[in-house]
Amino acid sequence: MSRLPFYLIVGLLLLVGIAASVHRHVQFEIPWLPGEQRQVWEIEAVINFNAQDGPVQVDLALPSHQAGYRVLTENTASSGYGLAYKADELGRQAEWTIRNAAGSQQLYYSVQMLVSPDARSPVQTPPELSTVPPWESPYDTAASQLIDRAWARSANNATFARELILDINGERQGENARLLLTQEQPSPLIVRLLNQADVHAREVSGLLMEDGRRRQTLSSWIQVFDESAETWTLFNPTTGEQGKPDNLLLWETGGRAVLEVQGGTNSRVTFSMLTHYQPASAAVRNHYSDDTLLNFSIHSLPLEEQALFQTILLIPIGALVVVFLRVLVGVKTSGTFMPVLIALAFIQTTLLTGLIGFLLIVAMGLIIRNYLSYLNLLLVARVSAVIITVIAIISIFTVIAYRMGLSSGLTVTFFPMIILAWTIERMSILWEEEGPKQVLVQGGGSLLTAVLAFLAMNNPWVRHITFNFLGVQFILMALILLLGNYTGYRLLELRRFKPITDEEKSS
Amino acid sequence: MSWLKNWTWPTRLRDKGIIGMNRRNIRYIGRYNSRRLYPLVDDKLKTKLLAQRYGITTPELIGTVTTQFGVKHISEMLSGHSGFVIKPAKGSGGKGILVIEKVQEGIFIKPSGVSLSIEDIERHVSNILSGLYSLGGSPDVAVIETLINFDESLMAYTYEGVPDIRVIVFKGYPVMAMMRLSTAASDGKANLHQGAVGVGLNIATGAALRGVQFDRPCFSHPDTGHDLASLVVPQWDTLLHLAAGCYEMTGLGYLGTDMVLDRKHGPMLLELNARPGLAIQMTNGEGLRRRLDLIEHQPDGVPVAERVAFAQHHFARQSELVETPDTSSATA
| DSSP assigned state of B148 | P
Residues of chain B positioned with their CB less than 8 A from the CB of A493: 13, 18, 20-21
Query: What is the structure's pLDDT at A11?
Result: 93
A495 touches chain B (CB under 8 A): yes
Residues of chain A positioned with their CB less than 8 A from the CB of B198: none
Residue B219 and residue B276 in one domain: yes
Question: With contact defined as beta carbons under 8 Å apart, do B166 and B218 qualify?
Answer: no
Sign of the CA dihedral A29, A33, A39, A41? Answer: positive
What percentage of chain A reaches a pLDDT higher than 90?
10
Residue B218 and residue B283 in one domain: yes
pLDDT at A369 over 80: yes
Contact A497 B9 (CB under 8 A): no
> What do you get for the CA distance between the two ends of chain A, in Å?
40
Supply φ then ψ for residue B247, to 5 degrees: -65, -50
Q: A18 by DSSP, 3-state: which?
A: helix
Residue B222 falls inside a structural domain: yes
Nearest to B21 among A434, A493, A501 (CB): A493
Q: What is the mean pLDDT of chain A?
A: 82
Query: What is the structure's pLDDT at A407?
Result: 67
Residues of chain B positioned with their CB less than 8 A from the CB of A1: 31
Residue B174 falls inside a structural domain: yes
Nearest to B285 among A376, A487, A500 (CB): A500
pLDDT at A503 over 80: no
Residue B31 and residue B156 in one domain: yes
Query: What is the structure's pLDDT at A281?
Result: 46
Q: Which of A10-19, A288-297, B195-204, B318-327 has the highest mean pLDDT?
A: A10-19
Residues of chain A positioned with their CB less than 8 A from the CB of B22: 327, 486-490
- What is the mean predicted confidence (pLDDT) over A477-484? 92
Q: What is the mean pLDDT of chain B?
A: 82
Residue B66 and residue B29 in one domain: no
- What is the mean predicted confidence (pLDDT) over B133-144? 78
Residues of chain B positioned with their CB less than 8 A from the CB of A485: 26
- What is the mean predicted confidence (pLDDT) over A418-446? 84
- What is the mean predicted confidence (pLDDT) over B41-52? 86
**pLDDT tens string B249-258:** 888 889 999 8
Number of domains in chain B: 2
Peptide bond into A31 cis (omega under 30): no
Domain positions in chain A are 310-494
Angle in degrees, CA A21, A23, A26, rounded to 5: 110
Nearest to B216 among A378, A496, A499 (CB): A499
Q: What is the model's pTM?
A: 0.67
Chain A, nearest residue to B94 by Cα: A433
Contact A490 B22 (CB under 8 A): yes
Q: Which of A6, A492, A497, A505 to mutate to test the interface with B (most CBs of B within 10 A)?
A: A497
Domain boundary among B84, B111, B146: B146
Range with lowest mean pLDDT among A63-77, A257-271, A310-324: A63-77
Residue B225 and residue B267 in one domain: yes
**pLDDT tens string B320-332:** 766 544 444 333 3
Residue B33 and residue B73 in one domain: no
| DSSP assigned state of A112 | E
Query: What is the structure's pLDDT at A448?
Result: 93
Chain A, nearest residue to B3 by Cα: A495
Q: Which of A378, A428, A431, A441 to mutate to test the interface with B (most CBs of B within 10 A)?
A: A378
Looking at the complex, report in whole angstroms how far the Cα of residue A501 sits from the nearest Cα belonging to chain B: 7
Residue B262 and residue B315 in one domain: yes
Nearest to A379 among B12, B22, B132 (CB): B132
pLDDT at A239 over 50: yes
Q: Quote the strand ranges of A33-119, DSSP E.
A: 38-62, 68-77, 82-88, 91-116
Residue B55 falls inside a structural domain: no
Question: With contact defined as beta carbons under 8 Å apart, do A204 and A187 qualify?
Answer: no
A500 touches chain B (CB under 8 A): yes
**pLDDT tens string B53-81:** 888 888 888 888 888 888 888 888 888 78
B6 touches chain A (CB under 8 A): yes
pLDDT at A146 over 50: yes
Query: What is the structure's pLDDT at A119?
Result: 67
**pLDDT tens string A160-191:** 888 888 888 777 777 888 888 888 888 888 88
Q: State the Cα–Cα distance between residues B120 and B124, nearest whole angstrom.
A: 6
Domain boundary among B146, B171, B206: B146
| H or E element, residue B303 | none
Residue B202 and residue B142 in one domain: no
Residue B176 and residue B272 in one domain: yes
Query: What is the structure's pLDDT at A431?
Result: 84
Query: What is the structure's pLDDT at B63?
Result: 86
A332 touches chain B (CB under 8 A): no
Domain at B122, CATH number: 3.30.1490
pLDDT at A480 over 90: yes
Residues of chain B positioned with their CB less than 8 A from the CB of A434: 194
Q: State the Cα–Cα distance between residues A386 and A382, nearest whole angstrom.
A: 6
Domain that holds residue B163: 18-40+152-331
**Residue A16: which pLDDT band, with cuts at 50, 70 and 90?**
very high
Residue B251 and residue B215 in one domain: yes
Chain A, nearest residue to B285 by Cα: A500
- What is the mean predicted confidence (pLDDT) over A44-50? 90
Q: Which of A65-74, A290-299, B1-10, B245-254 has the highest mean pLDDT?
A: B245-254
**pLDDT tens string B83-127:** 888 888 887 767 788 888 888 888 888 877 788 888 888 888 888
Higher pLDDT, B254 or A40: B254
Residue B138 and residue B158 in one domain: no
Query: What is the structure's pLDDT at A506?
Result: 44
Range with lowest mean pLDDT among A91-95, B48-52, B183-187: B183-187
Residues of chain A positioned with their CB less than 8 A from the CB of B95: 433
Residue B24 and residue B171 in one domain: yes
Query: What is the structure's pLDDT at A286?
Result: 45
**Residue A473: which pLDDT band, with cuts at 50, 70 and 90?**
very high
- What is the mean predicted confidence (pLDDT) over B208-225? 80
Contact A376 B31 (CB under 8 A): no
Domain boundary among B113, B146, B179: B146
Q: State the Cα–Cα distance between residues B304 and B319, nearest whole angstrom.
A: 26
- What is the mean predicted confidence (pLDDT) over A472-498? 89
Burial of B189 by CB count in 10 Å (0-12 exposed, 13-18 middle, 19+ buried)?
Answer: buried
Query: What is the structure's pLDDT at A18?
Result: 92
Higher pLDDT, A396 or B152: A396
Range with lowest mean pLDDT among A67-71, B48-52, B254-258: A67-71
Contact A489 B132 (CB under 8 A): no
Instruction: Tell which B residues from 16 to 55 touch A, by Cβ distance under 8 Å.
Output: 16, 18, 20-23, 26-27, 31
Sign of the CA dihedral A440, A445, A446, A450? Answer: positive
Residue B4 falls inside a structural domain: no
**pLDDT tens string B282-313:** 888 888 888 888 888 888 888 888 888 888 88
Supply φ then ψ for residue A273, to 5 degrees: -145, 160
Report the helix count and the strand count for chain B, using DSSP H and E.
13, 14
Q: Which of B11, B19, B21 to mutate to test the interface with A (most CBs of A within 10 A)?
A: B21
Domain at B296, CATH number: 3.30.470.20
pLDDT at A455 over 60: yes
Nearby residues of B38 by Cβ (< 8 Å), 6 or more positions away? B274
Chain A, nearest residue to B213 by Cα: A499
